[in-house]
Amino acid sequence: VINEVNQFKAELENIVTKESGISKEQRFEFVHDHLRGLITLNAYRTITPLLNPDSINFGWANKNIINKVTKQQILERLEKSHNAGRAVPPYSSEQ
Query: Does 71 map to a domain?
Result: no
Which residues form the domain of 44?
1-48
Q: How would you classify residue 37: left for phi > 0, otherwise alpha for psi between -120 and 50, otherwise beta?
A: left
Per the model's pLDDT, the better-predicted residue between 33 and 90 turns out to be 33
Q: How many domains does the chain have?
A: 1
Residues 1-57 have pLDDT tens digits of: 999 999 999 999 999 999 989 998 898 888 888 888 888 888 999 999 888 888 877
Q: Is 59 part of any domain?
A: no
Give 17's contacts (C-beta < 8 A, 6+ positions apart). Answer: 27
The answer to whether 46 and 8 are in contact (CB under 8 A) is: no
Q: Is residue 94 part of a domain?
A: no
* CB-facing half-sphere around the CA of 72: CA atoms within 13 A: 0
Does residue 55 fall inside a structural domain? Answer: no
Amino acid at 67: N
pLDDT band at 74 (very low <50, low <70, confident <90, very high): confident
Q: What's the Cα-to-Cα distance from 92 to each of 65, 80, 82, 83, 95, rounded to whole Å?
A: 33, 16, 11, 13, 5
Question: pLDDT tier at 93 (50, 70, 90 boundaries)?
Answer: low
Domain annotation covers residue 73: no
In a domain, 42, yes or no: yes
What is the reported pLDDT for 46? 94
Check if the beta carbon of residue 30 is closer than 8 Å to that of residue 16: yes
| Confidence bin at 95 (pLDDT 50/70/90) | low
Provide the pLDDT for residue 12.
93
| Structural domain contains residue 19 | yes
Residue 9 counted as domain residue: yes
